[in-house]
Structure 1
Amino acid sequence: MTDEQGTEGRYPANRRTQETDFPIAGPYPADDEISLYDLWNLLVRQKYLILGVAAVVVALSFVYATTREPVYEYTSAIEIGRLPAGENDGGESRLVETPAQTRSRLKNTIVPTARAELAEELGDESGGVPGVSLAGEEESSIVLLTSSGGLERGGEISQLHSLVLNRLEQVQQRDTQALRNDLNRQQSSLEDELELTRDERVLRARRGQRERAIAAAEDQIESLQTARDERELELRSRIQSADRAIAKANDQQEAAQARLDRLDERADVLDERISATRNLLADLRETQRRGLRGGSDDGLLGLFMGSQEVSSLQQRLDQLIDERRFDLDERRKDLQNRISEMERTKDEQRDIKAQIREEQEELMARFDRQIREQQRTVSEQRAALQRMEAERENDIANREREIADVQGRLENIRPTEASFVATRSLQPTNAGTRLILALGAVLGLMLGVFVAFIREFLANARAYREQPDPDQT
């Protein structure tokens, strides 16, 4: 467009042609600059028109402000339901849905569906159903539904908000009801387990095996103790028999030793008698030899009588020698043999006694070991019964605690519900009378200025058309 405009593209290239073709009426400068003084003069000349237009607009605004229908804001507060804390939730309850999910569901699904259902119910297919907008903080668990309308539309708005709330409750109730059913099943199962744990019949059945084992072990202990006592009595009797045998042998040995001592004394006596008899016999024989050498009758008589006495002494001496050599020695040997036999008997009985004591110690140790094993079994079974009872009490306490926890979780289930529905604002939400009058005044002034400029333009255009054409003159 450089052929029709200047280098800057703002003004016609041939200003003379413009002035000839479009002369400006009145004493206006021939340049294209707009003078603020000219604008001010224009506004001053048209001030009554501007004020008149402004007054008309203000009057119309006043009429509108006084005759318009007041518009109120209806607000419903929906609190998103909460579920009890799970195992991995750190003990804090959680929302059924996040606020973002709930807002998205309301905006994209529930609100349009509820408006369409209300429109169908009211027979209004032109989209005249009140609108619903979401308010409140984005991350808050409370979602605000807001709608605007007059008093006559309060029922429709309340019905619409109720539809939205019911649909949201139905959607989110599936999650809460599923959890509630699951918790009810858990509670029922825990109560059954608690009843089974408290059942004395079950306890007796569980204790029966342990108690039978304890009774069997105690019977075994009693049997072992009886057998031990019997064997101990038997062994003691054998030890006493050995002691008696040893005492008897010792007595016999002492008696034999005493007899042996008496035999030794008898041997000494016999030796003395043999020696005396030999001396007496020697004296008699010497006397006979002297009598034979004398040859007297008295000597012969004495020799005869001495011969008898010598013969008697010789027999006595032979008897003493025989008794000393044979009878006494045999009796000594017999007594020595009996003493040796009694010593062997004593040694045998001592050995038997030692064996019996070893057998007794081994037997007592075996019985004691078996009794300790059975006593350990009794202690273990009784400890097991105590543990069983403690575990039962612990199980009962755990089940009661779990049931209380489930009941607490059931009580902590809060469904989605409305804190209030379609509550009307106390004051109208549309613009007030003062604001409308102020806006009317500003709009009237603007419109008056515009009309003034249009009027001035039309006057100049008419003056231009009434000027003669210079080519015709």
Structure 2
Amino acid sequence: MQEMHDDEIDLIDILRVLWQRKTMIILGSLLFFIGGVAFALLTPKVYEYSSTIEVGKILTNVGQGEELKPLQDMQTIIAKLEEGYIPQVLHVSFRETQVADLAVKVKVPKDSQLLLLKSKSDQKDASKITSAHKNIIDLLIADHGKILDITRQRYTALVENGRLELQRLEDPKVFAVRENALKSQWEQAQRAVEDNKDTLALLKARAARIGETKKLLQEQIQEVKGMLATAQKNRESAIGEATDEARAMTLLMINNQIEDNRTRLSRLEERLYIDLENEKLAIEKEMADNLREADRRKSMVNESKGQLDKLYVDHAREIDMQKHKISELESRLNTIRPTHAMAVAIPSLKPVAPRSVMIVALAGVLGLFGSMLLAFLLEAIKRAGGLSRVNKPSAAE
């Protein structure tokens, strides 16, 4: 109960002290508040200056299609800015202006291919920030300009080579060389087919003559056989009548005639059954070879005609493909986008520092608690007998 009573006394005592010192507390808080307001009003306002850079792009093959891609990887560009261009520009700027607190940061908005240069300063350094940002951007543009120049030169050379190739394809004299070569091959194959037909006609004529020769030989053989039969009858008659020298001479002549007819018959039969058959077989073989050669030559004619037709189709397709290739290269050349600044050192609409409301509020809170602390300190001194009593030595001493 005593502890509760002491606590109530202490709380009442604190409130009494605060009430007795209310004027000092209010004045102290008001003084701090006024000081905070003055600080907030007198401190220069700091703005954030932003420059937006759109990185150059070139048309690049991606999978089965094409897509505009940055000239360099964004991380590479950021590294160049942070490690190269920004320190270089800030060093030059410090030598010229002696402003050491100038800083430039690089940021990349999410899911974008833009670069942001950001700096914070008051309005009196706006021109220095603008100059610094512009110099940094100029260095980046110059670096990317070299890459673009090389890319343009390469595409320009490819376009020129493509146009020269197109001129070669469209040149009738150049095409005539290929066309005439295939036409000559085709005409030669056609002549070979005609020659083959003529040869076949000659072989057929020879085969027909063999048939006629066969009939003639058969007739001659029959004639010789008849003559031989007649001579044999005459020989038999002459043998019976050969009584004198004249009859013997007649018999000798008959025998010679028979022998001649037999020899002639043998030759005719050899001609009919051997030589003529061999000649017939040879002609048949030549005709079969001729037919096979005719098929081969017809195939050559068709192949040559197909190659000639294919030449016209391929030539037209080559011209179309070359034109498409040139158009594609020109499109890539025309779609090259250089790196450029979309905005340079644009200040924020509102200052980013100082935060006046926070400063004033903080000054008010500090003034209130400081005044209260001072009130309790003065009350403690008072209760201790005042400053004079505290400093005066006691009687015992």
TM tier, shorter chain? Answer: 0.7 to 0.9
Q: In the alignment, is the contact (CA less than 8 A) between 2:46 and 2:354 conserved in 1?
A: no
Query: Counterparts of 1:158 and 1:188 in 2: how far apart (Å)?
Result: 42
Q: Which residue of 2 aligns with 1:125?
A: 98
Instruction: Tell me the SS of whatever aligns to 1:84.
Output: strand
Pairs within 5 Å for 1:54-133: 54-66=29-41, 69-86=44-61, 91-120=66-95, 123-127=96-100, 130-133=102-105
Unaligned runs of 5+ in 1: 1-34, 264-320
**Conserved in 2, the CA contact under 8 Å of 1:250 and 1:346?**
no
Q: Deviations over 1:428-452 (max 9, x none)?
A: 3345655444333223223323443
- Counterpart position of 2:333: 410
**Offset from partner CA, 1:227-277 (integer Å, 9 cap, x none):** 4434543443343233233245447768999x99xx9xxxxxxxxxxxxxx
Residue matched to 1:421: 344
**Aligned AA (1:379):** N
Cα pair 1:72 1:429 within 8 Å, conserved:
yes
2:284 alignment counterpart: 361
The match for 1:197 is: 169
TM-score, scaled to structure 2: 0.74
Residue in 2 aligned with 1:19? none
**For the aligned residues, what is the CA RMSD?**
4.3
Matched residue of 1:421: which SS? strand
1:380 CA drift (Å): 3.4
**SS class of match (1:414):** coil
Aligned to 1:169: 141
Offset at residue 180 of structure 1 (A): 3.0
**1:89/1:96 Cα in 2 relative to 1: closer, same or farther (>3 Å)?**
farther
**2:149 is the alignment partner of 1:214:** no
Using a 3 Å threshold, how does the CA distance of structure 1 residues 414 and 237 change in structure 2: closer, same or farther? Answer: same
Q: Pick from 146, 150, 155 the counterpart of residue 183 of structure 1.
A: 155
- Correspondence for 1:295: none
Which letter maps to 1:442?
V
Q: How does 1:139-158 map to 2 (within 5 A)?
A: 140-158=112-130
Say whether the 8 Å CA contact 2:53–2:115 is kept in structure 1.
yes
Q: Is the 8 A contact 1:72 1:428 kept in 2?
A: yes
> Which secondary structure state, in structure 2, belongs to the residue aligned with residue 164 of structure 1?
helix
181 and 458 in structure 1: CA distance in 2 versus 1, 3 angstrom threshold:
farther
Q: Following superposition of structure 1 onto structure 2, how do residues 287-298 of structure 1 map, counting pairs within 5 Å?
A: none
Distance in structure 1 (CA, Å) of the matches to 2:33 and 2:378: 21
Q: Structure 1 stretch 52-61 or stretch 387-396: which is displaced more?
A: 387-396
Alignment-mate amino acid for residue 104 of structure 1: A
Task: Output the CA distance in 2 between the equivalents of 1:112 and 1:36.
Answer: 61
* Partner Cα separation in structure 2 for residue 94 and residue 454 of structure 1: 71
- Equivalent pairs: percent with the same residue? 18
Out of 205, 210, 216, the residue aligned to residue 233 of structure 1 is 205
Q: Which residue of 2 aligns with 1:465?
A: 390
* 1:51 alignment partner in structure 2: 26
**Between Structure 1 and Structure 2, how many residues are aligned?**
376
Give matches, 1:226-375, under 5 Å: 226-247=198-219, 249-250=221-222, 345=268, 348-375=271-298
Residue number in structure 1 paired with 2:323: 400
CA contact (8 A) 1:256 1:338 kept: no
Pairwise CA distance, 1:54: 1.3
Q: Equivalents in 2 of 1:383, 1:62: separation in Å?
A: 97
In structure 2, the residue matched to 1:318 is none
Instruction: Say which SS state the counterpart of residue 471 (structure 1) adopts.
Output: coil
Cα separation, 2, equivalents of 1:243 and 1:455: 165
* TM superposition shift of 1:52: 0.3
Q: Is the 8 A contact 1:96 1:172 kept in 2?
A: yes
Could you tell me whether the CA contact under 8 Å between 1:50 and 1:445 is conserved in 2?
yes
Structure 2 unaligned residues grouped into runs of 5+: 1-9, 234-239, 242-246
Residue 56 to residue 90, structure 1, CA distance change in 2 (3 Å): same
Report the structure number with the largest CA radius of gyration. 1
Structure 1 counterpart of 2:82, one-letter code: K
Q: Distance in 2 between matches of 1:79 and 1:140?
A: 10
- CA 39–78 in structure 1, closer or farther in 2 if over 3 Å, else same: farther
Q: What is residue 380 of structure 1 aligned with on the other side?
A: 303
Task: Report the Cα distance in structure 2 between the residues aligned to 1:158 and 1:70, rounded to whole angstroms.
Answer: 17
| 1: CA distance, partners of 2:228 / 2:99 | 150
Q: SS of 2:98's equivalent? A: coil
The Cα offsets for residues 168-190 of structure 1, whole Å up to 9 and x where unpaired, read as 22233333333333333333333
Q: 1:336 to 1:220 in 2, by over 3 A?
A: same
SS of the residue 1:43 aligns to = helix
